[in-house]
Structure 1
Amino acid sequence: MEKHVLALQLSQLLGEEFSREWVYSLIETPKQEKMGDMAFPCFKLSPTFRKSPQDLASELAPRLKHDLFTRVQPTGGYINIFLNQSLIAEHTLKKILTEQEDYGKHSFGEGKTVVLDLSAPNIAKPFSMGHLRSTVIGNALSNLAENCGYETVKINYIGDYGTQFGKLLAAYKKWGDEELIRSNPLAELTKIYVKFHEEAKQDPSLIDEGRDWFKKLEQQHPEALKLWKWFKDASLEEFNKIYQLLGIEFDLTRGEAYYNDKMEATVDLLKEHSLLSNSEGAEVVHLDEEGLPPCLIKKSDGTTIYATRDLTAAIDRYQNYTFDQALYIVGHEQSLHFEQIKHVLGKLNFPWAQDVKHISFGMMLQDGSKMSTRRGKTILLEKVLEEAIDRAKVNIEEKNPSLENKEDVARQVGVGAVIFHDLKHDRRNDVEFSLEDMLTFEGKTAPYLQYAYVRAQSILNRGGFEINSGTPALNDEQAWLVIKQLRSFPEIVEKAYKEYDPSKIAKYLLDVAKGFNQYYASVKILNEDNHLDSRLTLVYSFSLVIRKGLELLGIEAPKRM
């Protein structure tokens, strides 16, 4: 509200050239409390008005007046605004109490559909920490989209096709042990897959055997199909254990192989638009005008490639869901691939091609390098989750052995720690795997946030808090930091979705929890006086926001720990 008021007043003072939206985008929050609650920098106005930012600030500040502002002061090239704390506090708490679960929700996505392609592990390979990022970032973005009014479709696009499966089939025929694989499918399949690549360094003919088996798979060879289906079913069963632990569900689980009988239609469509060219026996779409290398559609041996399947999948998804956005939550090493896909769809004259977006993210590193199944360098997500839960159990036994539902709380805390360790990082940055950092129950972690929520619940229970229709005034200077943070929650949610960046929610929650803990340490919240109800209302508002924020990240908030 106050930002919109400031933006409206300034745009009216500055003239039509400076829109309210433009002014709003420049409003800042000062780093120091003594500099006010909002600030507008005048530096970008200087060229137009041919005045220094300092002079412009001095001229504009006295003309900004509103009940929400207690003081407007020019400082250097900035206009600093101090807000009416009691008015803002009352409005904020009343809004939270009125809206309850709807606080922080938006309606700009209503009537629109977002399709999200996330997780996408490969069958016959373990679910490693490398796949955690796509899974939890994609799930958080889906939660944010729903919170903003969108209809969401979460698709787990399983990697169940391609030349690597030819290599796996060849490896199984050479070294596979059916009994061992049935008892521990992913570990044994990974073992023979790694062995294949090691042996291929000495015997390159193995690569040809892998290609032959993939060709058999494409040609529906009975033995190849039987083995492939077995490996796929066993893999999905193992993956579902992980998803249950993470608390993540999908609207659709579909493998690349689903598009086998649909790819020729895509190839025909490319031919109809005269987009296919022959390149050394292979079929490609040239993207010279876009400054990109050719997009390979068919290899020289006639087999398809994942670009063919992704094009087919995109067309199929639009036909089924008429999406307004199609988000591919895939690592940044696939950026070129998705640029090519988007441009090829554009050349096919699909107007929705511009709504296909690659939401890239950095790698999960181990000792500074990428994890790799073929090199046998992976860390299993299931093992990490299990250890996180075990450590949470130990923590509970030490600090609160009489806690009810210890198993459930340990799962919430342990799994939450793993998810938050990923989401607190900007998705575009690489993340170095560290079990110690991930499972630390202090500092910038989910358990720190969960404990702040538990503390708030305890205060509310001891204070006998009940939601009533009135909102008592909060004349508490020390509560002002928390009020301002709670007030910014809807704006943070909107920004996190529009920038496809869940870390904005994670960082915000850390700040608001820190502010609340400082308030708790400096104020006797349960002191019996005229302001008890207002302080409990603040605690309740904090607890609602921290729980909703954690839910958006896919993390549960236990009421006791």
Structure 2
Amino acid sequence: MNERNVVANALHQVLADHLTVDEILALLENPKSSQHGDVAFPVFSLAKVLRKAPQAIAADLVANIPADNFEKVEVVGPYINFFLDKKIVSRETLIEIIANKEQYGDASIGKGRNIPIDMSSPNIAKPMSMGHLRSTVIGNSLANILTKIDYVPIRINYIGDWGTQFGKLIVAYQKWGNEEAVKEAPIKELLRLYVDFHEEAEKHSELEDEARFWFKKLEDGDEEATALWKWFREESLKEFQRIYDILEITFDSYNGESFYNDKMDQAVAILEEKQLLETNDGAEIVDLEKYNLNPALIRKSDGATLYITRDLASALYRKKEYDFAQALYVVGNEQSIHFKQLKAVLTEMGYEWSQDIHHVPFGLITKDGKKLSTRKGKIVLLEEVLGEAINLAKTQIEEKNPNLTNKEEVARQVGVGAVIFHDLKNDRLNNFDFSLEEVVRFEGETGPYVQYTHARCASILRKTNWTADVNSDYALNDVESWEVIKLLQAFPQIIQRAATKYEPSVIAKYVIQLAQSFNKYYAHVKIVNDDDQQDARLALVFSVKTVLKEGLRLLGLKAPEEM
């Protein structure tokens, strides 16, 4: 039961000649105070049509609105305030959650259609830093949320395994590299070579020309360049996998940039066939002036390709392979122009499905207000942050619950959960400055706080040995439980809003609010108290536990039964 739908349907019975149910829904408001009811309807919009003062219209409507489902309906100025029947709403909400359990909030919006999600996408030969966390956890959460409403996400780790940086790395390895050093600590040594290259290139600009020369050799299939590239790639993927295992994130495809190396000619051929390519200073471009965008550079004067050439090839491949309903690119905000160009070029090529491509941008993680940069060696290693968080969780568990049986596993779930939740609780477009203390903080509006609330619910249910029964009458009418009930009732709409906005923070903020609301309830009400409402109160605890666990799962967190 959705409270807004209940109100909209009741109003529609007296306003059918003037407003549709959807139009009424769009006008409904949440009162600032619960003293003014659960839902408010402003009558201003009807004043011109009915040629009456809003207050008089409100009084007329209230006299004819059916009273079912409401404790009372009252006029306050130009508003009609609706107070829902707590018993009816609580009974229906709790029974629905008990009946559906973790499937509460499922919807069939997607109808089983595919949505490839381009996410994580670290660069070969560079360590995974905190900068890679955002794309990884936002993409994974969106995949979970979209699955919940019956889409089929395809998690694509579009590995950065092609481009001029490999020319740089090959040159650096040939000049200053050592096979044994790379074998001993692959990413660490390759990163050192990459940083050294940029330091030397500032003094000796000819190194950049050498790098371009070697990347062209790699594109042309040179044996020495290809062997080094394959070696760098394999070693890097092993390191990445270790971190994905800690985060418990899997992928359906590791088709990186190199996968499209032999598919770019087809994309360029289509551009030529449609007479979209123009020559500019020896380079080939697509003019995008009518979109107020700079030209898309498709091929450089030396014949080398660019990101957009590969992204065109990948978009064409993914449409053919997955026949997607939407295609998401979870990539930093600084790439927004690139994706506007990509969509514009696909539109010029005559592909209507270009409108189904969505860039899902996010803000930067900075350090002391400055962007993290691999090139300058200014990085915060993701694996180290996860390790620190797990250790901090372990220390807190030792202090608070030293007899916990599976301490190591719970510490991992809480520590890793703290890092993921810290990223996802903020609107994704917001930048945030990295501070280890802030990331692994367990008090306040954090993942561990929500996990602890879930564990508290689990403890109450264990101690009472309570079992759910869909045929019981779980009706509550106390003020304390009402705020919790209304939040539980909102969960399906929260999921859909998060999916529509591609915004996991909608769910993160919701589970914080639900945890806070339940803890307030817990502090004011004696849940285990042998009276006629105890069973309904325990049904509420079960429902909160169920929804918190599912909300955390959608974000990519585990929900320990004990902490």
Normalising by the residue count of structure 2, what TM-score does the alignment of the two structures yield?
Answer: 0.97
Which of residues 492, 495, 505 in structure 2 aligns to 1:493? Answer: 495
CA distance in 2, matches of 1:475, 1:113: 43
CA distance in 1, matches of 2:272, 2:54: 59
CA distance in 1, matches of 2:325, 2:429: 24
Cα distance change of structure 1 residues 133 and 53 upon mapping to structure 2, 3 Å threshold: farther
Equivalences for 1:203-242 in 2 at 5 Å? Answer: 203-242=204-243
Equivalences for 1:46-445 in 2 at 5 Å? Answer: 56-445=57-446
Q: Deviations over 1:82-134 (max 9, x none)?
A: 11011111111111111122101111112311111111111111101111111
Q: Deviations over 1:339-393 (max 9, x none)?
A: 1111111111112111011111111111112111001111010000000001111
Which of residues 539, 544, 547 in structure 1 aligns to 2:541? Answer: 539
Cα distance change of structure 1 residues 292 and 49 upon mapping to structure 2, 3 Å threshold: farther
Cα drift, residue 53 of structure 1: 5.3
Indicate the larger mover: 94-103 or 262-271. Answer: 94-103
- Partner SS state of residue 158, structure 1: coil
CA distance in 2, matches of 1:32, 1:451: 29
Asked if structure 1 preserves the Cα contact closer than 8 Å seen for 2:7 and 2:82, the reply is no
Cα distance change of structure 1 residues 55 and 167 upon mapping to structure 2, 3 Å threshold: farther
CA distance in 1, matches of 2:172, 2:63: 78
CA distance in 2, matches of 1:46, 1:346: 45
Asked if structure 2 preserves the Cα contact closer than 8 Å seen for 1:417 and 1:445, the reply is yes
Indicate the larger mover: 351-360 or 2-11. Answer: 2-11
Cα drift, residue 6 of structure 1: 2.3
CA distance in 2, matches of 1:491, 1:370: 36
- Partner SS state of residue 443, structure 2: coil
Asked if structure 2 preserves the Cα contact closer than 8 Å seen for 1:72 and 1:81, the reply is yes
CA distance in 2, matches of 1:216, 1:402: 61
Equivalences, count: 561
Cα distance change of structure 1 residues 185 and 38 upon mapping to structure 2, 3 Å threshold: same
Cα drift, residue 526 of structure 1: 1.1
**Paired residue for 2:513?**
511
Q: Deviations over 1:6-58 (max 9, x none)?
A: 22344564456643223213323223211211122345555655666555545
CA distance in 1, matches of 2:340, 2:413: 38
CA distance in 1, matches of 2:314, 2:541: 48
Cα distance change of structure 1 residues 50 and 188 upon mapping to structure 2, 3 Å threshold: farther
CA distance in 1, matches of 2:48, 2:334: 41
- Partner SS state of residue 81, structure 1: strand
Cα drift, residue 165 of structure 1: 1.4
Q: Give structure 2 stretches of 5+ with no counterpart.
A: none
Cα drift, residue 79 of structure 1: 2.6
Cα distance change of structure 1 residues 431 and 57 upon mapping to structure 2, 3 Å threshold: farther
CA distance in 2, matches of 1:372, 1:404: 42
CA distance in 1, matches of 2:128, 2:305: 26
CA distance in 2, matches of 1:55, 1:438: 54
Asked if structure 2 preserves the Cα contact closer than 8 Å seen for 1:2 and 1:68, the reply is no
Asked if structure 2 preserves the Cα contact closer than 8 Å seen for 1:90 and 1:471, the reply is no
Quick check: 1:38 aligned with 2:39? yes
Q: Give structure 1 stretches of 5+ with no counterpart.
A: none
- Partner SS state of residue 253, structure 1: coil
- Partner SS state of residue 125, structure 2: coil
User: RMSD in angstroms over aligned alpha carbons?
Assistant: 1.6
Asked if structure 1 preserves the Cα contact closer than 8 Å seen for 2:102 and 2:547, the reply is no
Structure 2 counterpart of 1:508, one-letter code: Y
Structure 2 counterpart of 1:158, one-letter code: I
Cα distance change of structure 1 residues 62 and 16 upon mapping to structure 2, 3 Å threshold: closer
- Partner SS state of residue 174, structure 1: helix
Asked if structure 1 preserves the Cα contact closer than 8 Å seen for 2:13 and 2:65, the reply is no
**Paired residue for 1:557?**
559
Structure 2 counterpart of 1:467, one-letter code: A
Cα drift, residue 399 of structure 1: 1.2
Asked if structure 2 preserves the Cα contact closer than 8 Å seen for 1:9 and 1:64, the reply is yes
Asked if structure 2 preserves the Cα contact closer than 8 Å seen for 1:364 and 1:433, the reply is yes
Indicate the larger mover: 414-423 or 69-78. Answer: 69-78
CA distance in 2, matches of 1:41, 1:489: 25
CA distance in 1, matches of 2:54, 2:432: 41
- Partner SS state of residue 155, structure 2: strand
Structure 2 counterpart of 1:485, one-letter code: L
Cα drift, residue 249 of structure 1: 0.4
Asked if structure 1 preserves the Cα contact closer than 8 Å seen for 2:425 and 2:505, the reply is yes
Asked if structure 2 preserves the Cα contact closer than 8 Å seen for 1:62 and 1:72, the reply is no
- Partner SS state of residue 158, structure 2: strand
Structure 1 counterpart of 2:437, one-letter code: E
Cα drift, residue 534 of structure 1: 1.1
Cα distance change of structure 1 residues 423 and 47 upon mapping to structure 2, 3 Å threshold: farther
Cα distance change of structure 1 residues 456 and 218 upon mapping to structure 2, 3 Å threshold: same
Cα distance change of structure 1 residues 429 and 59 upon mapping to structure 2, 3 Å threshold: farther
Structure 2 counterpart of 1:560, one-letter code: E
Cα distance change of structure 1 residues 462 and 341 upon mapping to structure 2, 3 Å threshold: same
Structure 1 counterpart of 2:517, one-letter code: G
- Partner SS state of residue 254, structure 2: strand
Q: Deviations over 1:227-276 (max 9, x none)?
A: 11111111100000111000100111111001111110110000011100
Structure 2 counterpart of 1:333, one-letter code: E
Asked if structure 2 preserves the Cα contact closer than 8 Å seen for 1:286 and 1:295, the reply is yes
